[in-house]
Chain A
Amino acid sequence: MVQITHRERSEPVLVATMSQEVVSSSELNRVYTSENIEFILNIQKDALFQRDALEMSEALSFGLGGLGDFYTAANEMEFRAYLPKEFRFIIRGLRQHTRVTNVTRLNNRMLLVERSGMEERRILALNEYDLTADAVRTGIEKFGVPQILLTSNPNCRPSGESIAAASACGVEVLRFGELLGALNR
């Protein structure tokens, strides 16, 4: 556990640390030893945060993420309710969609979107600038098979092979605007 002094805060921030490739609620329970903990920092890069871990962080009100997330949280002075900017934008946009009744985070990259009178959709958000076939295959292997792969980086350039790799798994590659349109169908 680390106590951080923030320039703009009188009380220090209590941060628990761990290093796991897959972060589950049971792993979090091992380091969440006090209600005063505001953020749990997972050192391992590109980790998978499972649904139960995300639910636990929301229920117990502590932030969760990697080093980059921690730096952002510190810049924004928001540790307990921290959510990556990328997902803040996606989730807000989806919740405002007239067809969407509920949005659930299945892991740190996969969302389950429930729609009124229509089938639910699993959406995998990948933030690559150059989306490669390998990024698609690795993303699906790690986070699960979605129906839609959302290129959440607004400047994303998907390669022809990445679209083919997604298509071979029955996955459509869409930008955010295209996704909003697709949710009506």
Chain B
Amino acid sequence: MKATSILRCLLRELAGVRSQALDCDFYIFGSILTKCNCISDVDILVVYRDLEKLALVKKAFSLIKAHFPLEIVFMTTNEEQEFRFIETQGAQPLEDFLAARQEMRVEPAAIV
């Protein structure tokens, strides 16, 4: 399977997890937003409000992590504000990222 196909599969899986976890906000950050040629993993920020529901999100991610190189950071809303993580990292909401990829039909970066 080509790297571009791998990334497309990953984005489909992420959209699936996203639809199950309405209490959380998902963001993409890191090299996938800036590098054109190759990246080593995909960085994801999950901002959660309810600790009880976090276990379900983690379980869904653990299945994807078995096949894709993901780096996931879980933060509460307060922690995200404390670190100003989205702003400082230039993180992009997952929905925007997915929409941009679909609209622009840009070939995703290759995963190495």
Contact = CB atoms under 8 A, between A and B. Distances in A.
A133 B65 CA distance: 21
Interface in A38-56: 45
B69 A45 contact: yes
Interface string B64-107: 01000100011110110011010000000000000000000000
Contact of B76 (A45, A157, A161): A161
B54 A130 contact: no
A162 B79 CA distance: 9
Q: Select the residue from B54, B65, B79, B83 with max chain A CB neighbours within 10 A.
A: B79
Interface of A: 45, 130, 132-135, 157, 159-162
A157 B80 CA distance: 12
B69 A161 contact: no
Interface residues of A: mostly helix, strand, loop or mixed? helix
Interface of B: 54, 65, 69, 73-76, 78-79, 82-83, 85
A45 B69 CA distance: 8
A159 B78 CA distance: 9
Contacts of A162: 79
Contacts of B73: 130, 132
19 contacts: A130-B73, A130-B75, A130-B79, A130-B83, A132-B74, A132-B75, A132-B76, A133-B79, A134-B74, A157-B83, A159-B75, A159-B79, A159-B82, A159-B83, A160-B78, A160-B82, A161-B76, A161-B78, A162-B79
A41 to B, nearest CB: 15
Contacts of B75: 130, 132, 134, 159
Nearest to A68: B40
Contacts of B78: 159-161
B85 A130 contact: yes
